[in-house]
Structure 1
Amino acid sequence: MADLSAFPITQKWTPKDPSVLQLFSFPTPNGVKASIALEEMEIPYEAHLVTLSDTDVKSPEFLSLNPNNKIPAIIDPNGPDGTPVGLFESGAILIYLAEKSGKLIGETASDKARTIQWLMFQMGGVGPMLGQMGFFVKFAGSEWEDKRPQERYVNESKRLLSVLDKELGDKDWVTGQYSIADIAIAPWLNALNFYGAREMVGWDDHKNLVAYLDRFMARPAVDKAKNIPPRP
């Protein structure tokens, strides 16, 4: 039985089975990246609900694993060096899980490079820009009289969607094969509906993206993982 006592987070979220990977998350676009990857790669894991309240994400226990106070984070009791390893940042977690399982990162070094390229496209572009747009469309920023910030993020989101729509013109998945790049990108595309922003960015005009997201959401692992851990 693995000993995870060196991780203070386990004092607040206690593992039932410390021999399997521990996921600390909430089903946001970033959070479900980890649960979808774990389901797709068939890695045994235990999910712990970490709400987005300061009580959880800014607790000393959670900060001990992720000083940046964001979900998701993991502890793998079976780390690559024979000892448990803790990780935060969804992109880093996706790469780690893909390398651990040998799945969804490509078969060759070139495949891997392209996969990580599009993963970084999501991390540096799609996630931050659509997330900021959501703030200015659905949340507090929508009340601002000055609409220039909203326009800036809506226009940049449109540009990024056009890049993806063009890339998917002749293939089902962003690198040609289903990968962690898709697991990173698609949940953020799905968030456009939550933000109430689909019409604003001309979603229906991006036919390749519409079909892409439908394919992604129809995957059994995605359907199972999209609400793991379950919302309270």
Structure 2
Amino acid sequence: MTQPDIHLYTAATMNGYKPVIFLEEAGVPYGLTFIDLSKQEQKAPDYLKLNPNGKIPTIVDRDEGRPIFESGAILWHLANKYGKFLSDDPVARSETLQWLFFQVGHVGPMMGQAMYFQRIAAPNGHEEPFSIKRYVDESRRLLEVLDTRLAGRDFLVDDYSIADMAVYPWARAYPWARVGIDGLANLKGWFDRIDARPAVRKALTIPKAQPAFWGDADESEFLKENAARFASDVKTA
């Protein structure tokens, strides 16, 4: 049996869902390996040969005989390879990449830190009110930027694109980051439109559903599990 061109190594995280959303939306066959972060499988020697940074996700493009790591670069590669979700129009293409990099450089890092200090550091005995406020406030500011951009628009550029696929898993996880979205009607409408997409709903269950991220489950038990899983990431003096 012929193997699919794309093999994805991922985990159930915001970055980990991004390439799954593309592959499910594009209807591209792919192989899947779940990386168990609690077992530090992302640091295993064989995986580091694919991704020297020891993070997820990574794809192997068998057709080209090479791995690609970093979720933004993966989305860009897949969009170019399959001719989907990235316009050929120079202006729309540029705008799509700008919003893709906006997620990579701002939304992901800021919301990720908001999550870290509240969901990992604090439950492990390292309460940092200044850091929490800093990252929650900056995350809210970034969501306001998105809300402004989405005024009069269905999606971040002209059509649904890799920019939406990149931003959505992070921004939609505002409950897990404990960032309020009161007053952000344009952003809420965008969430509703993407929430309704069958491929997205399926993607958010692969390799494992984490409903607490999206505010769709009681977070108490998952909070304990998540904090314990990443306890070794909490640095002590």
* Same fold? TM cut 0.5: yes
Following superposition, which runs of at least 4 residues in structure 1 exceed 4 angstroms of deviation? none
Q: What residue number does 1:5 align with? A: none
In structure 2, which of residues 25, 36, 59 is the aligned counterpart of residue 51 of structure 1?
36
Confirm whether residue 98 of structure 1 aligns to residue 79 of structure 2.
yes
In 2, the alpha carbon distance for the partners of 1:171 and 1:225 equals 24
Q: What residue number does 1:86 align with? A: 67
In 2, the alpha carbon distance for the partners of 1:91 and 1:145 equals 31
In 2, the alpha carbon distance for the partners of 1:22 and 1:146 equals 39
Q: What residue number does 1:39 align with? A: 24
Q: What residue number does 1:150 align with? A: 132
1:123-174 residue CA offsets vs partner (Å, 9 max, x unmatched) = 0000000000011222214654541111111111111011000110110101
Structure 2 counterparts to residues 31-180 of structure 1, below 5 A: 31-79=16-64, 84-141=65-122, 143-180=125-162
Instruction: Return closer, same or farther for 1:31/1:146 CA change in 2, 3 Å cut-off.
Output: closer
In 1, the alpha carbon distance for the partners of 2:159 and 2:18 equals 17
How far 1:99 moved relative to its partner?
0.2
Q: Which moved more, 1:87-96 or 1:204-213?
A: 204-213
Residue type of the alignment partner of 2:135:
Y
Q: What residue number does 1:21 align with? A: 6
Q: What residue number does 2:206 align with? A: 228
In 2, the alpha carbon distance for the partners of 1:62 and 1:227 equals 23
Aligned length: 209
In 1, the alpha carbon distance for the partners of 2:80 and 2:8 equals 17
In structure 2, which of residues 141, 163, 173 is the aligned counterpart of residue 181 of structure 1?
163
Question: TM (normalized to structure 1)?
Answer: 0.85
How far 1:54 moved relative to its partner?
4.4
In 2, the alpha carbon distance for the partners of 1:25 and 1:161 equals 26
Structure 2 counterparts to residues 190-201 of structure 1, below 5 A: 190-195=172-177, 197=178, 201=179
Residue type of the alignment partner of 1:75:
V
In 2, the alpha carbon distance for the partners of 1:231 and 1:22 equals 20
Question: TM (normalized to structure 2)?
Answer: 0.83
